[in-house]
Amino acid sequence: MNQSRFVIALAAVAFLTLAGAAPPHHLPPCINDPYDGITQTLGDGTVVGEPDARDWGCAERGAPAHGAVGAAPGATGRASATRERVATDLEIEGVPVPLPTVLCMAPAAPNPATVATRIQFALPASAHVNVSVYARQQGHGPRETSIVRVLLDGALAAGTFALSWDLDDDGGHRVPPGIYRVVLVTGEDALCGDVEVR
């Protein structure tokens, strides 16, 4: 009798351990790219210098758009995606802002960040959205990717949104300096971008 309770308790612990270790969603391929470059921005979102071609951008269902993560766009594609994103934020008095037509995530601003950074994205249709910040353990041995902070995990209507990351982890502790990956996942679409914390 005691042995069967022990086996059940052991099975429960094993299940909880495996369930707790599982990510909240299937990780997109961009999570495995090197964490070694950023798109530098000012606090207002102005891109400074050459954008990192692997970061940020837009995606269309089924195929990456020009400037999407995973494509190999040039700086022009990145800049135009950013300009389009900023244009959708303009609101003229009495004139509604049109809904976005593609999923986009603008470069974090400011980047590098010392106090906080803003993550803006456009959602073309109502969907469940997860925006999380990941870190990669560096050094000897296998590199381990882990969630540092979940910024958003819920259903949203179509529109443009801005999140602020205060550079804390989910426990409320300031993250150490380094490069962190912001990952936006909605349905089968995912976008990634890097933020340098100083």
- Convert the pLDDT of each residue in 106-124 to its tens digit: 999 999 999 999 999 999 9
CA distance 198 to 196: 6
Domain assignment present for residue 186? The answer is yes
**CATH assignment of the domain containing 91:** 2.60.40.4070
How much of the chain exceeds pLDDT 90, in percent?
49
- Convert the pLDDT of each residue in 48-72 to its tens digit: 988 888 889 998 654 333 333 333 2
Domain assignment present for residue 1? The answer is no
Q: Cα angle at 13 between 137 and 1, to 5 degrees?
A: 160
For residue 104, give the nearest of 138, 134, 144, 73 by alpha carbon. 73
pLDDT < 50 positions in the chain: 6-25, 62-91
pLDDT of residue 32: 79
Domain assignment present for residue 162? The answer is yes
Domain assignment present for residue 123? The answer is yes
CB 39 within 8 A of CB 11: no
Domain assignment present for residue 21? The answer is no
Domain assignment present for residue 136? The answer is yes
Domain, as residue range, for 95: 27-197
pTM score, two decimals?
0.70
CA distance 35 to 96: 39
Helix, strand, coil share of the chain (percent; to 5): 20, 35, 45
Domain assignment present for residue 11? The answer is no
Count CA atoms within 13 Å of residue 19 on its CB side: 6
Q: Cα angle at 186 between 70 and 58, to 5 degrees?
A: 40
Q: State the alpha helices, DSSP H only, in the chain.
A: 2-21, 75-89
Domain assignment present for residue 13? The answer is no
Q: Number of folded domains in the chain?
A: 1
